[in-house]
Amino acid sequence: MSEKTKRFRFPQNQHMDDHFNWWNFMPMGLMHVALIGIWWTGFTWTAVAMCVFLYVARVFGITAGYHRYFSHRGYKTSRTFQFVLAFLGATALQKGPLWWAAKHREHHRDTDEPEDAHSPRHYGFLDAHVGWVYREARSSPDMDLVKDFSKYPEIRWIERHQYLPGLSVAVLCFLIGGWSGLLVGWLLSTILVYHATFTINSLDHMFGRQRYLTGDDSRNNWLMAILSMGEGWHNNHHYYPATARNGFFWWEFDPTYYMLLGLEKIGLVWNLRQPPKSILANEKPPTQKIIDKCATYIADGFSADRITANLRARWEGSHIMEDLRGHARTKWSAAEAYLAEIELPDLPSADELKARAQKQFKIQHEGLDRAIERAHDMLRRSVSHRLIEQAREERQQHA
């Protein structure tokens, strides 16, 4: 585990530690082990049909319910059907809709920053996939983010009894299909739904293409779109989250959206929000926030301390160090102006910055060129700051 993981603290839960809680992980671990039981029960046609049906129904419960409705309000529905969506989502045993939506809203707020509980960039594949759920600090959301839904008593009821829907389905499967019904129909489908969901947080921030410059690592990936019924168009989604669809074009397979269209036809849901034309055309210039986010990532790959040390070694005994100490003694701005005029050859070259940018951001975009320039400025500034500070200290020591 990295130092960063051990020290992890969310601002709102300073007192919690972030160690992996093996005890809480037991049910998840045992469910995986219990799959071995299929060796004895075998596959019956009934059990396989139950598995397929429960996979599709519950992935839909998560994607259409927990994700596009409770987290992003991508469409509207009645209070009754809202309850149905919450119940269906809860049958997947991924905790309650309020917890899920609050964590997910945090993910969109802090995507691939250290505060993002499941960023593979910061915590690696396994922790982004499932480990974060069993780390207390990272799995505790700010519940103020979901006040729009926590005001409904029936939603709070599901949240309190979050295991009830999933376990009822298990009992039902056993009654219909016996042990094979339980292990293949219920258990196998539950685990497949888990990994379909988890993959979006882990692999879909690692592998695939980017259409939009988002400053994070979200990717569009057709294979994950098939497995997760449309969620694999994750770069689209991070660029414009508040929609009923994640596949923005007809060729981007998004069965969750097609099913929502069906529900709209029979009047159960309405006001399905669409991405605007300007988004589809990808014409909107990136915001300063996105440029800064990219630039910070690029600059973080180079140590300002090391560059400073290299420059000082290079200039040792030369007039530059003497001049700098002289300026630093009188005025900070004079020293800054002096450094702005001279070359700092130990700063990374444009090519080095570009290489780091392209390794992480899978996109050709003019915004990325701006981010590279900005990263260069950021590094130049922080190196200058260090040089002046050190020159000042030395001046004082000599005085």
- Of 206 and 344, the one with the shorter C-beta distance to Zn ion is 206
CB 120 within 8 A of CB 206: yes
Task: Categorise residue 146: left if φ over 0, alpha if ψ from -120 to 50, beta otherwise.
Answer: alpha
Question: What is the DSSP code (8-state) at residue 270?
Answer: E
- Of 215 and 241, the one with the shorter C-beta distance to Zn ion is 241
Tokens encoding 126: 């396994």
Tokens encoding 209: 């293409």
Binding-site residue total for Zn ion (CB under 5 A)?
1
- Report which of 35, 30, 50 is spatially closest to residue 183, judged by C-alpha positions: 35
- Shortest distance (Å) from residue 237 CB to Zn ion: 6
- Shortest distance (Å) from residue 335 CB to Zn ion: 43
Rg of the chain's alpha carbons, rounded to an integer? 26
Handedness of CA 75, 77, 79, 85 (dihedral sign): negative
Q: Which stretch binds Zn ion (CB under 5 A): 116-124, 239-247, 293-301, 350-358?
A: 239-247
- Of 91 and 218, the one with the shorter C-beta distance to Zn ion is 218
Q: How far apart are CA 245 and CA 237, in angstroms?
A: 8
Handedness of CA 152, 154, 157, 162 (dihedral sign): negative
Site for Zn ion in 240-269 (CB under 5 A): 241
- Shortest distance (Å) from residue 243 CB to Zn ion: 10
Q: Provide CB contacts within 8 A for 170, sequence distance 6+.
A: 182, 186, 187
- Of 241 and 367, the one with the shorter C-beta distance to Zn ion is 241
Site for Zn ion in 9-28 (CB under 5 A): none
CB 231 within 8 A of CB 201: no
- Shortest distance (Å) from residue 105 CB to Zn ion: 8
Task: Show the site string, 160-199: x = touches Zn ion by CB under 5 A, - = not.
Answer: ----------------------------------------
Q: Which stretch binds Zn ion (CB under 5 A): 31-39, 156-164, 234-242, 391-399?
A: 234-242
- Of 127 and 325, the one with the shorter C-beta distance to Zn ion is 127
- Of 190 and 220, the one with the shorter C-beta distance to Zn ion is 220
Interacting residues toward Zn ion by CB under 5 A: 241
